[in-house]
Structure 1
């Protein structure tokens, strides 16, 4: 019996360590190890730095073959050039998406003219319109199209003020509906996002959550030793943010909260990551003369488990208008290491429901640095309760986020016939 053939089309892929690229890379590795023949069309790694990373910089097209350990199925990766904006505004990201679409189309045409056929074609949004490349392959060569939605890109751009033209927004929503209606399978990462998608098109939307590698990421009990290795005192209480540094998180509130709490000599902040707003945050911290906050670059995967265990508490911040348009991917790894989280989210969102139902952290109203500072102070003085939340986090990760459970369940679902589309009026 031949191995099923899968084609992934996405902006982001290994070796990106955060966001969509992380999950795409781990998904393809799992599929390869479980007897799937995988091909990937992507660009060169750039996220979250918003510049192409060495040794991939100054490249045009590139073909790679990845051989994963304990896998007999090499993965073929086609990397295409793309415009990467140093400062990703809404308009510049649209240009990026279109440039990527254009450069990828040449590889798509080449594959279509080859003899290779795919059983399943996966496109990952954002960008939402990338699915048209998958539809091209499907219509020419056959196979089923899976349209997986990590972020509701159009709503996020609208609510964050990145796009304001009603005419343009209406056109984008029409394009999105066309994609939703033609996809054989639609999936997303949270119940809240699934509900929003179902409001657009009356069609089954599969639950395909982001996962955690619970064997690679796990609790380390010697936190005091980790603190010493990083230049902190064992009694310091570290509040850690690790992830993309962009507009939708509202990370400036960490700086304002650190300013309010500067009198507490034990409270320390670490912001780890890269992104278009990192320099602005550093400048803001310098203007306030803060010495209780450190900025560190993205950590290598080999060191990342220890680094996450360095934090006594983890900051998971979102603006109120982000709602269920995005689901912070960083949370899964935090839960895997048994991290207690301080989460800013609104009632009724998937993030709020999960954290409150399973007692995974402290929930704070979004966009209030005073409430964030109050929550940080409460968590610091709440050791017994915090330990319970850490135990709950690890338990939740093992039960619901294990990659083997998530992937095997989902791949079983997409083996079924897709549901016919009915437009929502």
Structure 2
């Protein structure tokens, strides 16, 4: 089976899930051609230059990556990036049409690829992987309403994408409901959770955590840790407010934040201005150190603002579970994440937005810290069964096989 794998950008340093999916499809016997752009954001200059120098890369026996389009980066502002993404989508469409294939796998970033998939379905069956729901995310970022003419147009194109692609895969039951509410038949939508490498990820004892030593993180005391995107959707004002309330009652509890993103500078400035020395911020770390990263905290924080679980799911949740750490989740309580944590006793979960409730939960966890190791073990056990890499990627292979052989679900 020949699979044409289409995504805006693919590099193992930033897009681990996509890289692993392509490799696993190849290991399962598919001949995979990845069509993608040149990555530029949130990677080092050395990594960026490597990919500029390798427009065609054979990453395994059955997987070849072809990078096309602009070499000038993804753009800085939102409007600039959208123009760049439109241009890249056109280039990918041209290349995809002339690539012999039995099925297309199409990722949802940049968002215009779903529209492209509806056109490509005339040439071969398509599997559209809706990891982020557009224009819902744009509405949230810009505060736009459904009545906005631009949103009305995007909604129209979104419906066309759901109708035109052969099958849809998304990553949570809530997101499936959202997609169905925009005109896609439910029996056309599959849910496949994102995965983590449950074989290699593991919990690292603090005394053995070299990353903590390198960053100068004190290994004593109680730590609430966050690692990932320091962006607009995590609700940082509430988190910082809660941290201040916690510190006023227990100075043994500290907060460690690792990552990069659009809110990082503002967060660091607030820490400096208010002398919040119990909150420390560190640079983004390589994916090769995930076990150390997600073993830093007594609690590992997952945060997404209210209402967002209907359109996005923090994939790092599954990495934290695979690492065997207790979770502290600030998510909609109707979400898949909240349900998992409650049912399997993996940590603590509460609605985002209430700094007092968050502070109370952290102080409660401190008092119950002898229970946290067991909660981490529960998370690890759940991940081995429900979100291992091989278990999840073979689901994609099976759906692609079905549509490639015209099997109607």
Once superposed, what is the RMSD of the aligned Cα atoms?
2.6
Q: CA deviation at 1:61?
A: 9.2
The structural deviation recorded for 1:132 is 3.1
Matches within 5 A, 1:387-406: 387-406=373-392
Name the counterpart of 1:73. Answer: 62
In structure 2, how many angstroms separate the alpha carbons of the residues matched to 1:67 and 1:323? 34
Q: CA deviation at 1:62?
A: 5.7
Shift of 1:30: 1.3
Deviation at 1:397, TM superposition (A): 0.7
| Post-superposition offset of 1:401 | 0.6
The answer on whether the counterparts of 1:62 and 1:79 sit within 8 Å (CA) in structure 2 is no
Distance between the aligned counterparts of 1:66 and 1:305, measured in 2?
28
CA separation in 1, counterparts of 2:292 and 2:52? 36
1:265-344 aligned at under 5 Å gives the runs 265-344=251-330
Q: Give, in angstroms, the shift of residue 381 of structure 1.
A: 1.6
- Counterpart for residue 151 of structure 1: 132
2:55: which partner in 1? 63
Structure 2 residue 252 is matched with structure 1 residue 260: no
Cα gap change, 1:217/1:101 in structure 2, threshold over 3 Å: closer, same or farther?
A: same
TM-score (norm 2): 0.89
TM-aligned CA deviation for residue 107 of structure 1: 4.8
The alpha carbon displacement at 1:243 in A equals 0.8
CA change 1:253–1:182 in 2 (3 A) is: same
The CA deviation string for residues 329-365 of structure 1, in whole angstroms up to 9 with x for no partner, is 1101000001111111222222222222222220122
* Separation (CA, whole Å) in 2 of partners of 1:177 and 1:123: 16
| Corresponding position: 1:163 with 2:160 | no
The superposition leaves residues 95-149 of structure 1 with CA deviations (integer Å, 9 ceiling, x where unpaired) of 4234223234235424534xx411121111133321233344443xx32111110
Q: Where in structure 1 are there 5+ consecutive unaligned residues?
A: none
Distance 1:153 1:234 in 2: 42
| Inter-partner Cα distance in structure 2 for 1:40 and 1:265 | 51
The number of residue pairs the alignment matches comes to 400
2:121 is equivalent to residue 121 of structure 1: no
Helix, strand or coil: the match of 1:80?
A: coil
Counterpart of 1:362 in structure 2 is: 348
Paired residues of 2:7 and 2:35 also in contact (CA < 8 A) = yes
How far residue 169 of structure 1 moved from its aligned partner, in angstroms, is 1.3
Within the candidate set 3, 8, 27, 2:5 is matched to 8
Does the 8 A contact of 2:302 with 2:314 survive in 1?
yes
Contact 1:117 1:143 in 2 (8 A): no
Contact between 1:65 and 1:77, CA under 8 Å: does it hold in 2?
A: yes
Question: Is the 8 Å Cα contact of residues 60 and 80 (structure 1) preserved in structure 2?
Answer: no
Unaligned runs of 5+ in 2: none
Name the SS of the counterpart of 2:247 in structure 1.
Answer: coil
Residues 58, 396 of structure 1: alpha-carbon distance in 2 compared, 3 angstrom cutoff: closer
Contact map agreement 1:61 1:79 (CA 8 A) in 2: no
**CA–CA distance in 2 between the matches of 1:413 and 1:353?**
26
1:412 pairs with 2:404: no
CA distance in 1, matches of 2:170, 2:45: 28
Q: State whether residues 40 and 73 of structure 2, in contact with CA within 8 Å, keep that contact through their aligned partners in structure 1.
A: no
1:228-269 Cα offsets, whole Å, 9 max, x none, are 565344432111111111111112333222222334332121
User: Counterpart of 2:30?
Assistant: 36
Cα shift at 1:28: 0.8
2:159 corresponds to: 177
TM-score (norm 1): 0.86
Secondary structure of the equivalent of 1:270? strand
CA distance in structure 1 between the partners assigned to 2:83 and 2:228 by the alignment: 26
Paired residue for 2:176?
194
